[in-house]
Structure 1
Amino acid sequence: MSAPDVVYSMLSVLFVAAAVHALTQALRRNEPDWRGRVGHLLHAAMALAMAAMPWSWGRALPVVPQTVFFAGAALWFCSAALHGHASSWTAAARSLPAAAGMTAMAWMTHSMADSAHGGDTPGHHAGHLGSPTGGPETADMITAVLALYLLICSLWSLTRCMPTLGKAPDTAGRPVAARVYGHFWDGSMAMGTAVMLLMPH
């Protein structure tokens, strides 16, 4: 097994676990907000798609419908945030990591579709798989910006609760451990997506 295959195997395990977590969150009875349920279901779909993406059977899946689906999901996260109960600026800021993840997924699947029609070699990065926006340099820039932003989001999610691990439940009544658990999965998904963007496909 090659080194990329080892990394892909680890990522696939991570994404399958993240999909199970998202489905569990979507189906739990104490989730009062239907937008939250939809968000969890979209994250589960994204995680399953990314778990399959590196493998030959995953690349055989139709990529154009996936591109449309995840582009729509990115727009949904942005629009849902603007109609939430919190401050629109706060809600929009909270939606950006999810929207960026869906955008990255749409970008990867779009690049794969462009590659399938353009005949690029499979060893290129996601940004190299095609030239849908004007050339390899532009594609590289989009890939790098998405990967950097997701990496920042990942580090922020994985470290934001560290100073409060031993404190009492928050004002919403959730134990701190539950919040840390949620941040862990958010950060892990962002990290895995950033790695997927930079890996050869």
Structure 2
Amino acid sequence: MSAVDTVHCLMTVLFTAAAIHLVRWFVVSRDAGWRERVDHLLHAVMALAMAVMPWHWGEWLSHPAPIVFFLTAALWFPLTAVRRRRVSLMRAVAGRLPSAAGMSAMAWMTWMAWQGHAAARASHEIVAGGPTLAHPVGDHRHVAPVSDPAQAVTATLALILLASALAWLIRIMPDLRADVALPQACDDDDLYRRFWHGAMALGTAIMLFMPH
């Protein structure tokens, strides 16, 4: 197993575990607000897509429909930032930007994978002198040349996600000290929420630079 496949396996385990956690929360937290339930459902779909993306059964993501879905999900978070709380609109939108960045990164990766598959199909047609098979034999990862603007978009999304991951994960560290007792059950839920947000942001940042 190559180093790339090893990283892909680790990412698949991470995002599968995240998806299980998110689906479980969605099922058991029936008293949560509708917006929070939709948030978790969108994150669960993203985690499942990220888990299968590196492998051949993730080729279904390399189509326009998933791209549109994740772009819509990216818009969902800032557009639904307003809540019935005494929080400014700018602060509410800023708090939901990491989730929007994660969905944008997912849309960007599916777009790049789509472009890679299109370039691979074109190259097969040129070599074969005619239409190519729907599933060409060989490695399923098609790595197309990446332009400078595309690299800039990837780097920008990765930096936002890395900053978000550090912010989420650093905020749980005081809670993990042995001399700090969690007074209420809701603190455990908040601890897990921060961990999974941070882990998914970190995993997504890593996947941005991996071949698909």
Cα distance, 1:96–1:130 mapped onto 2, change above 3 Å: farther
Instruction: Determine the C-alpha separation between the residues in 2 that align with 1:163 and 1:112.
Output: 39
Provide the C-alpha distance between the structure 1 equivalents of 2:110 and 2:31, rounded to a whole number of angstroms. Answer: 31
Q: Partner residue of 1:105?
A: 106
Q: CA deviation at 1:65?
A: 0.8
Q: CA deviation at 1:93?
A: 1.4
Q: CA deviation at 1:59?
A: 1.7
Give CA-to-partner distance per residue, 1:137-187, whole Å, 9 cap, x none.
000000001011101100110111323452554xxx654332111100000
Counterpart position of 2:37? 37
The yes-or-no answer on 1:163 pairing with 2:163 is no
- What TM-score do the two structures reach when normalised by structure 2? 0.82
Cα distance change on mapping 1:200 and 1:18 into 2, 3 Å:
same
CA contact (8 A) 1:31 1:37 kept: no
**CA distance in structure 2 between the aligned counterparts of 1:68 and 1:176, rounded to whole angstroms:** 36
Determine helix, strand or coil for the equivalent of 2:154. helix
CA distance in 2, matches of 1:60, 1:70: 14
Q: Distance in 2 between matches of 1:145 and 1:8?
A: 22
Partner of 1:59: 59
Q: Which residue of 1 aligns with 2:203?
A: 192
Take 1:155 and 1:61, find their aligned partners in 2: how far apart are those partners? 28
The residue identity in structure 1 corresponding to 2:152 is: M
Deviation of 1:130 (Å): 6.3
CA distance in 1, matches of 2:203, 2:158: 10
**1:115 corresponding residue in structure 2:** 116
Equivalent position of 2:84 in the other structure: 85
Aligned length: 189
Q: Gaps (5+ residues) in structure 1?
A: none
Q: Could you say what secondary structure the match of 1:45 adopts?
A: helix
Structure 2 residue matching 1:160: 3-state secondary structure:
helix
Partner of 2:165: 154
Contact 1:111/1:130 (8 A) holds in 2: no
Within 2, Cα distance between the matches of 1:174 and 1:91? 25
Root mean square deviation of aligned Cα:
2.1
Could you list the per-position Cα deviations for residues 30-85 of structure 1 after superposition, in whole angstroms to 9, with x for gaps in the alignment?
5421010001000000000010100011124452111000000000111111x322
SS of the counterpart of 2:32?
coil
Q: Distance in 1 between matches of 2:145 and 2:96?
A: 28
Paired residues of 2:62 and 2:110 also in contact (CA < 8 A): no
Instruction: Structure 2: state its 5+ residue gaps.
Output: 124-139
Using the aligned pairs only, state the percent identity. 45
Distance 1:72 1:96, change over 3 A: same
SS in 2 for 1:190: helix
Higher RCO, 1 vs 2 (CA within 8 Å, ≥6 residues apart): 2
What amino acid is aligned across from residue 43 of structure 2 in structure 1?
A: H
Q: CA deviation at 1:103?
A: 0.2
